[in-house]
Structure 1
């Protein structure tokens, strides 16, 4: 199952484990290099071959039966060349693994800081080393000093491949991340935009998912010039100058706040949080100067995380290029 999507890999575990019945476990024999074979089986050419022999109508559930898989005939290099190729990819995989471990550490550090800062265990001080005033309690509506807007009901007939405005849906929202071009591929044209009287989104706006699983995940709009609208399941929070957007987004993405928001989700089939209930979510926040320090602090951490993600993506693209060249 899912082998047409590349769901095949090499196990590096040194202990017994169980796998789903949808998977087959293969053991390499005859001195073949396991790293070479594992990478060979995941190449684009092999995935294309799997698609030719797969059964099933739904792409995500297409299955390659083992009776078909075992009879695939391919040419392999000598054991010595396999060893060299396998060692090369093992080193590259190890490099990727080490960078992914660095990423995990950064994300764990961020999580720890979020826990300490938003519980006020760790506080920032002013330029003279003095404590800032006590944090103020209230609701999103009372503390944000800005607007919360609903998105628009966007039907299938509104969607265009060449429209002028990008459509932001809940699936485009990753926790704590900026929006990027790769996140979004659906558009709406000018005529439908005018009819919908859509809410435009600006730099510094916070987009928050109203759908369950999990409701409340949010992201911030960077300083870009794309013109876009949101679907009805995305709320737009537009803080004014009395509230730091990056502080608010970071607070909303804490585990505690996501849990608090999830308690307001309602509905039978289409579960989500209403705008009115979203406005009732309780917050505790410092004055703007401390907000800005906290916001800048998490912005810098997120920039480090993004750079690390880009480094990993670069290594994976590099590996993909080598796979393409070596297994043609």
Structure 2
């Protein structure tokens, strides 16, 4: 593969060396046939796949399963509306495409998989219209100018190369999901005391005692700051993290920030979503909305022991016992948290458990970093292998 252009013109920066002919400019409508999918009512969509049902795809991907199909083969599906307008999925087999997706069928001289990568690279969302509800029409899609290699074999080589990276990304995602499953299984066994740990001399550690949340943690509301600390986003997957480190943009006024609470390293946070994802832990000092409840330990604990315990399904079920039937967004009060019994093994065992789970957690973070590099590599190659 070479990055040297033989002449200025419609030639990608990165190209297989055996191809030298310039690419040709065409409209998308000249390369493929585009048509909207067909409406299917919600009552006709099933959550699970059983014999006689076919996948049903909307603009945002798989919606469920239906009794009929309107496509049979390999197609690119383009999202027509909403937040994922312009999103492109490659679908293979018999399936039903809804009216929220545009089905792209390439002409005979265009490779199907290459077409998928072309559409992915075009960033189709930029061609959407409408403010409150962005949308893409078939007519607008067909008018988009693009550049393509006339030699189908070049299209196929590009598609094969990029497909190898996609398969590696799929494998990496499976590695991460398997590790997450292992982590959940280990947490369940450890916190249900199905695994017996031993001390340094080989003696089995004593049975756990239990204390109420209010005996271990107190609610604090420190607003003594000059608004110069980073604003923290309270997330279910990353815990408390500075907004600048993630794609989390919410405008706040200087006056409103004055009422924000200080979060110290090691504090826990009860959020509006704790009934769904547990209680969050902070490895950062910053400030957060006064709507959150900040917890600080009153006695000696190993914080990461509780960081992992507060995210277990068993504990989340305890949080939800008094919240059943209450609408989404209900805040868990400190008084309710304080009444729930928490495990309190000796500090030595807390440290052993925290250390062990941290190693598995770090492995997951390492594999996620590999995935991010692969995805960035794919983005780079898409830009370089298309004009």
Pick the TM interval, shorter chain: 0.7 to 0.9
Structure 2 counterpart of 1:51: 126
Answer yes or no: is 1:220 the counterpart of 2:281.
Answer: yes
Unmatched 5+ stretches in structure 2: 1-80
Q: Distance in 2 between matches of 1:269 and 1:134?
A: 37
Change (3 A) 1:188 1:309: same
After TM superposition, the structure 1 = structure 2 runs for residues 181-200 of structure 1, keeping only pairs within 5 Å, are 181-183=244-246, 195-196=258-259, 198-200=260-262
Match of 2:169 among 71, 76, 96: 96
Q: Distance in 2 between matches of 1:68 and 1:26?
A: 13
Change (3 A) 1:271 1:133: same
After TM superposition, the structure 1 = structure 2 runs for residues 2-13 of structure 1, keeping only pairs within 5 Å, are 2=82, 5-11=85-91, 13=92
Answer yes or no: is 1:118 the counterpart of 2:191.
Answer: yes
Q: Deviation per CA, 1:262-293: give whole Å up to 9, x if none.
A: 23448768521112112222222311111111
Answer yes or no: is 1:63 the counterpart of 2:126.
Answer: no
Q: Deviation per CA, 1:23-42: give whole Å up to 9, x if none.
A: 13333341522222111111
Please state how far the C-alpha of 1:241 moved relative to its aligned partner.
Answer: 5.9
- Greater RCO between the two (CA within 8 Å, min separation 6)? 1
Answer yes or no: is 1:27 the counterpart of 2:135.
Answer: no
Answer yes or no: is 1:272 the counterpart of 2:331.
Answer: yes
User: How many residues are matched?
Assistant: 301
Match of 1:167 among 231, 238, 242: 231
Q: Distance in 2 between matches of 1:20 and 1:281?
A: 47
Please state how far the C-alpha of 1:228 moved relative to its aligned partner.
Answer: 1.5
Q: Distance in 2 between matches of 1:213 and 1:283?
A: 16
Q: Distance in 1 between matches of 2:82 and 2:119?
A: 13
Change (3 A) 1:199 1:148: same
- Structure number having the greater strand percentage: 2
RMSD: 3.0
Task: Between 270-279 and 288-297, report the one with greater CA deviation.
Answer: 270-279
Unmatched 5+ stretches in structure 1: 153-157
Structure 1 counterpart of 2:59: none
Task: Between 124-133 and 16-25, report the one with greater CA deviation.
Answer: 16-25
Q: TM-score, normalised by structure 2?
A: 0.69
Please state how far the C-alpha of 1:84 moved relative to its aligned partner.
Answer: 1.4
Structure 2 counterpart of 1:243: 301
Change (3 A) 1:71 1:204: same
Q: Deviation per CA, 1:193-213: give whole Å up to 9, x if none.
A: 5x53x532222222332x147
Please state how far the C-alpha of 1:5 moved relative to its aligned partner.
Answer: 4.8
Secondary structure class of the residue paired with 1:37: helix
Q: Distance in 2 between matches of 1:187 and 1:130?
A: 55
- Structure number having the greater helix percentage: 1
Q: Distance in 2 between matches of 1:135 and 1:106?
A: 27
Q: Distance in 2 between matches of 1:213 and 1:260?
A: 11
Answer yes or no: is 1:298 the counterpart of 2:385.
Answer: no
Q: Distance in 2 between matches of 1:323 and 1:123?
A: 51
Asked which structure has the greater CA Rg, the reply is 2
